[in-house]
Chain A
Amino acid sequence: MDTNDKNYNLSVKLDKIHLRNPTMLASGILGISQSIFERLYLENIGAIVTKSISVKPMKGYPNPTVIPLGGGSYLNAVGLSNPGVDAFSRELSNNKIVPIFISLVGSSEKEFSKMVKAFDALNILGYEINLSCPHVSKMGMEVGDDPEAVNKIVKTVRMNTNKPISVKVGVGSIDVVELARVAVDAGADIITAINTLRAMSIDIETMMPILSNRIGGLSGNAIKPIGIRCVYEISKKLEVPVIGCGGVSSWKDVVEYMIAGASAVQIGSVLGSSGPRIFNEITTGLKKYVEKKQLKNIGEIIGISHKY
Chain B
Amino acid sequence: MKGFKPSAPFLLLLPAIIVLAAVVVVPLILSLYSSFTPFRLTKPETFFVFVGFRNYVSILSNADFWWAFGRTVLLLTIALNLEMLLGLGLAMLVEKATRGQRLLRTLMMFPMMFSPILVGFQFKFMFNDNIGLVNNALQSLGITQDAIPWLIEGHLAFIAISIAEIWSSTAIFAILILAGLLAMPKEPIEAARVDGCTPWQTFRYVTWPFVMPFAYIAMTIRSLDVARAYDIVKIMTDGGPAGRTELLWTLVARTAYSDGRMGMANAMAYFSILLSIAFTVYFFNKLAAARTQIGAEW
Q: Do A and B interact? A: no
The chain A residues found within 8 Å of chain B, CB to CB, are none
